[in-house]
Chains A and B, each alone.
Chain A
Amino acid sequence: MSTAGFVLFLVCAVVSVLGAIGTVAARRPLRAAVSLLVTIIAIAGLYLGLSAQLLAAIQLLVYAGAVVVLFIFVIMLIGPSSEGSNDATAGGRHLMVRMLSLAGMGMFTATLAFTLVDVSAQYVATPEGFGSTQVVGEALYRQSLVPFEVVSITLLVAIVGALAVARTKTAKELSEARERRAQIEKAA
């Protein structure tokens, strides 16, 4: 691969790792969302380096354009209490937190150790049109038309489910409904 490709990889890799650390370490969810946005844009750059142009565009459209915006909408809807309790700096509010973070570190080092095993695979030059919209779209509709349609139904179900779940009662409404039911039972 050329030097330009190496530079692209290096920049995108460093930016994505820094953004990921910012996402999980941020105290405020809004900062975490912006860090996630940075990570996602860097990953789109990685896709470009892997000559997956269509996926890079989809990554920007779906993640940067929809998922992160959804996160920011929810953060703004919830307001200041979206910060939650102070857990970012907790060295161990519970024993559980400490154990879980140890388990996470273990998983992290294990995966790293496994990937440092040399798979010795060198990339070859891509044929004409690899990763382009036309070729990927053709492969998508020829090889996996049914999964594609299933995904559209899944998204529809997710929309309806999200609406149904998000419109649940608040604690106050729940207790009021319970009182009303008790009164009706007493009257009867």
Chain B
Amino acid sequence: MVDLNAYLTLASLLFGIGAIGFLVRRNALIQLMSIELMLNSVNIVLVAVNRLHVDNHVGQIFSFFVIAIAAAEAAVGLAILIALFRLHKSVDTDTADTLKH
């Protein structure tokens, strides 16, 4: 009853929500969470397609690496956010204009 289509539709919904959140919100914390949403939706696609090819685990291994890199990205992103907050006393990404000419 549940086929690949259902998983792909769900993943695209989650990716779209994450993309909209990243583009519309100006709070750096919520933008980072939106990135996590998008990475998770990609993982769903990898695992769902891997389920079609039951003779190997390439998709699952790939999504394992995606999870590891996402964890590293979250750590570095939050460190940058803390540095930004120490500089500007705000997590609003509109205030991050130090490099403006």
Chain A residues proximal to chain B, CB less than 8 Å? 1, 3, 5-6, 9, 13, 16-17, 20-21, 23-26, 29, 32-33, 36, 39-40, 43, 46-47, 49-52, 54-55, 58-59, 62-63, 66-67, 70-71, 74-75, 77-78, 81-85, 87-88, 93, 97, 100-101, 103-105, 107-109, 111-112, 114-116, 118-124, 126-127, 130-131, 135-136, 139-140, 143-144, 147, 151, 154-155, 157-159, 161-163, 165-166, 168-171, 174
Contact = CB atoms under 8 A, between A and B. Distances in A.
Nearest to A131: B60
B51 A112 contact: no
Contacts of A9: 2, 6
Interface residues of B, number: 78
B44 A84 contact: no
B75 A162 contact: yes
A119 to B, nearest CB: 6
Given A32-B33, A121-B52, A168-B87, A23 B80 contact: no
Nearest to A43: B40
B72 A121 contact: no
A104 B81 CA distance: 23
Contacts of A21: 17
Closest 3 interchain pairs by CB?
A24-B21, A108-B16, A158-B72
A88 B30 CA distance: 10
B20 A1 contact: no
Contact of A121 (B4, B27, B68, B86): B4
Nearest to A79: B85
Nearest to A152: B68
Contacts of A97: 24, 26
B10 to A, nearest CB: 5
A58 B10 CA distance: 21
